[in-house]
Structure 1
Amino acid sequence: MILSYWEIKSYLSNIDYTIVGSGIVGLNCALRLRERFPKAAIVILERGILPQGASTKNAGFACFGSLSEILDDLKTHSEDEVVQLIEKRRKGLLLLRKTLSDKAIDYQQHGGYELFDHNDHKEYDYCMSRMDKVNVLLKPYFKDNVFQIRDNLFNFNNIQKQLSFTPFEGQIDTGKMMRSLTDLVLSKGILILNSVSVEHFDELNGSVHVKTDKFEFKTNRLLFCTNGFASKLINAEVKPARAQVLITKPIENLKIKGTFHLDKGFYYFRNIDSRILLGGGRNLDFKTEETIEMGETEIVQNKLEELLKTTILPYTPFEIEQRWSGIMGVGSTKKPIVEQLSDRVFCGVRLGGMGIAIGSHVGRELAHLVD
């Protein structure tokens, strides 16, 4: 691609900060950089026409972890680590709502539920018997019991009669959130260049030389916010994790309202626009779903449809309208990677499927690493 004198001068000269990735982390990082450095030239590079990853493809859960997920984390992390992670998610959600407003993201706090398979008495008993312990851990931060027991009022089938419920969980409109966040970033004089893929970079003579599939340029600082795609360009312990999703056509008199978790969060569903949005299933084939390729597989999609028919909407006819997938970034721990990689290169990645909750926080944290 041959650029003109004007294009180079106006778009790609004297750049102070270049952010790779225009998802939740990248956009929040740019906003905080603008606050810190009002006169800085900030550019965001995005490989897709729209943000390509999880930010525009997620299920819109404003959550911090279901009861079984938290108990599972306590098996591999210390109590302090788990509490700190949940508190970061709680604060991140508050920051997102404050930055954009509840109206702009269509935030609704209908609460979050966890369903337990009717055959899995062991997991159900384990979680319910330890609910009080988790409540004691989290009460100082939420100022109330986080989890309580609710009856199955939604007529779900093939599950235990009682559910775990938290009133603190909410849901958002993912598209509205990203539109609002992008509009805010653009209003601050920050440039977003779409359909540009970074292929290589080198630190030379006091700057970072960046080669993309369209052009080359120099920047003073380079920040990677590419989450599940991070390992393509930087040395970070991040594995991609594809999440497949489907959504039904509108269902008349849909009574289901809230966010719902099943099988330690490997399946999740919610109401949106009189529809049911359902995702998950990567636990059926971890190896295949460890990919940066978008797409759907028969084994996962069949399972999602089966769950709709047998568990979620057993007495309600429905039709599938759309299917899609997004790419998350996961690792051996749930803690995000926010660090300086070299003199002029930084990263904020590995959000562990909690991008909505911690993306704002991670972006701002990353912006504070640079000078």
Structure 2
Amino acid sequence: MELSYWELKNWFTNVDYTIVGSGIVGLHTALRLRERFPEAKILVLERGMLPQGASTKNAGFACFGSLSEIMEDLKTHSEDDVVNLIEKRWKGLQLLRKRLGDSAIDFKPHGGYELFLKEDELGFSEYISKIPFVNEVLKPLFKADVFSKEIDRFGFENIQEYLIFNPFEGQIDTGNMMQALLKHAISADVLILNQQTVNSYLDAGNHVEVVVNDFSFKTKKLLFTTNGFANSLTKGAVKPARAQVLITEPIHNLDIKGTFHLDRGYYYFRNIDNRILLGGGRNLDFEQETTTEFGQTKIVQNKLEDLLKNVILPNQDFQISHRWSGIMGVGNSKSPIVSQLSENVYCGVRLGGMGVAIGSLVGTELADLI
């Protein structure tokens, strides 16, 4: 690409901080850097037309973990680790809401629910019995019981009699959130360039040489916020996880409101604009869904449609309007990686499918490493 003197001078000269990735983490990093360094030149590079991973492709759940997810995490993490992670997600949600405002992100506190399929009698009994224990563990953080049993009032079929309700959960409009974040960043004099791929970089000690497309420039600090695309950066500690999603056409008199979890969080659905948005199913084929390639597969899409027909919208006519996918970053640990990779290079990645909740906090923590 041939750059003019003006382009080089205004965008690629005397750059203090370069952030790779314009998603939730990247823009919160930029905003926090601007708070700390009012005069700094901050550049954000994004390889997609829009944020490439999951920031504009997620389901818009303002959640911090369903009961079954928390119980599964307790099997592989210490109780302190699980509580600390939930606290970070909760604080991240408050930071997101405070920074952008509930109106701008269309936050709706409808609460969250967890469903258990009819055939999952064993899992249902186990998780229901753990409600008092988990509530006690979380009480210091929320000052109230988080989970309770409720009779299904939504007309679902082929599920257990009770749903598990969480009054602290809500939903947002993902598109509105990202537009609001972008407006904040631009108004804070953050330079954002799309369709810019970082091919390589070299930490030279007093600066970082960054190769973008077919030219290079220097920056004092380089920060990666590429989440699901950070496998090579973290030596395999982050694995990509594709999430497939579909949404229905508007449904007349839709009476479903809230965010809903199913099968330990591997499926999730919600109401939006009189439609049902439903995603998940990577547990049907973990190997195939451990990919950075966008797209849909028959095995997952067929299962999503089956859940719509037989569980979520039984005896109702519906049409699928649209399908898409997003790339999350997961790993053996649910804790995000916020670390310094070399003298002038940093990363904030591995959000574990909780980017809406924890992304703002990870971005802030990343900026505060400098």
Q: Which amino acid aligns with 2:96?
A: L
> 1:72 corresponds to which residue?
72
Preserved CA contact (<8 Å) 2:205 2:344: no
2:46 & 2:230 partners in 1: Cα distance?
A: 13
Matches within 5 A, 1:100-119: 100-119=100-119
Question: What secondary structure sits across from 2:277 in the alignment?
Answer: strand
1:227 & 1:247 partners in 2: Cα distance?
A: 25
> 2:211 corresponds to which residue?
211
Q: Cα deviation per residue 1:126-183 (whole Å; 9 max; x = unaligned)?
A: 0000100000010111111000000011110110010100000000000000000000
> 2:299 corresponds to which residue?
299
Tell me the TM-score normalised to structure 1 length: 0.99
Q: Cα deviation per residue 1:164-211 (whole Å; 9 max; x = unaligned)?
A: 000000000000000000000000000000000101000125110000
> 1:94 corresponds to which residue?
94
Q: How big is the shift at 1:213?
A: 1.2
Question: What secondary structure sits across from 1:231 in the alignment?
Answer: coil
Matches within 5 A, 1:287-366: 287-366=287-366
> 1:39 corresponds to which residue?
39
2:106 & 2:294 partners in 1: Cα distance?
A: 27
- Please give the root-mean-square deviation of Cα atoms over the aligned residues, in Å: 0.8
Question: What secondary structure sits across from 1:296 in the alignment?
Answer: coil
Q: Which amino acid aligns with 1:91?
A: K
Matches within 5 A, 1:220-299: 220-233=220-233, 235=235, 237-299=237-299
How many residues of Structure 1 are paired with residues of Structure 2 in the alignment? 370
Preserved CA contact (<8 Å) 1:28 1:360: yes
Preserved CA contact (<8 Å) 1:196 1:214: no
1:321 & 1:61 partners in 2: Cα distance?
A: 20
Q: Which moved more, 1:1-10 or 1:233-242?
A: 233-242
Unaligned runs of 5+ in 2: none
1:197 & 1:222 partners in 2: Cα distance?
A: 14
1:8 aligns with 2:1: no
1:114 & 1:188 partners in 2: Cα distance?
A: 40
Q: Which amino acid aligns with 2:208?
A: V
Q: How big is the shift at 1:233?
A: 4.6
Q: How big is the shift at 1:236?
A: 5.2
Tell me the TM-score normalised to structure 2 length: 0.99
Q: Cα deviation per residue 1:235-276 (whole Å; 9 max; x = unaligned)?
A: 351000000000000000000000000000000000000000
1:14 & 1:236 partners in 2: Cα distance?
A: 33
1:183 & 1:135 partners in 2: Cα distance?
A: 39
1:318 & 1:236 partners in 2: Cα distance?
A: 41
1:99 & 1:214 partners in 2: Cα distance?
A: 36
1:83 & 1:49 partners in 2: Cα distance?
A: 37
1:54 aligns with 2:54: yes
Unaligned runs of 5+ in 1: none
Q: Cα deviation per residue 1:70-100 (whole Å; 9 max; x = unaligned)?
A: 0000011111000000000000000000000
> 2:171 corresponds to which residue?
171
Cα distance change of structure 1 residues 216 and 233 upon mapping to structure 2, 3 Å threshold: farther
Preserved CA contact (<8 Å) 1:199 1:233: no
2:48 & 2:232 partners in 1: Cα distance?
A: 15
2:151 & 2:201 partners in 1: Cα distance?
A: 55
Q: Which moved more, 1:307-316 or 1:198-207?
A: 198-207
Preserved CA contact (<8 Å) 1:336 1:348: yes
Question: What secondary structure sits across from 2:183 in the alignment?
Answer: helix
Question: What secondary structure sits across from 1:193 in the alignment?
Answer: strand
Percent of residue pairs identical: 65
Q: Which amino acid aligns with 1:336?
A: P
Q: Cα deviation per residue 1:84-129 (whole Å; 9 max; x = unaligned)?
A: 0000000000000000000000000100000001111110000000
> 1:84 corresponds to which residue?
84
1:133 & 1:264 partners in 2: Cα distance?
A: 18
2:335 & 2:233 partners in 1: Cα distance?
A: 20
2:119 & 2:57 partners in 1: Cα distance?
A: 32
Preserved CA contact (<8 Å) 2:205 2:343: no
Preserved CA contact (<8 Å) 1:201 1:209: yes
1:101 & 1:134 partners in 2: Cα distance?
A: 30
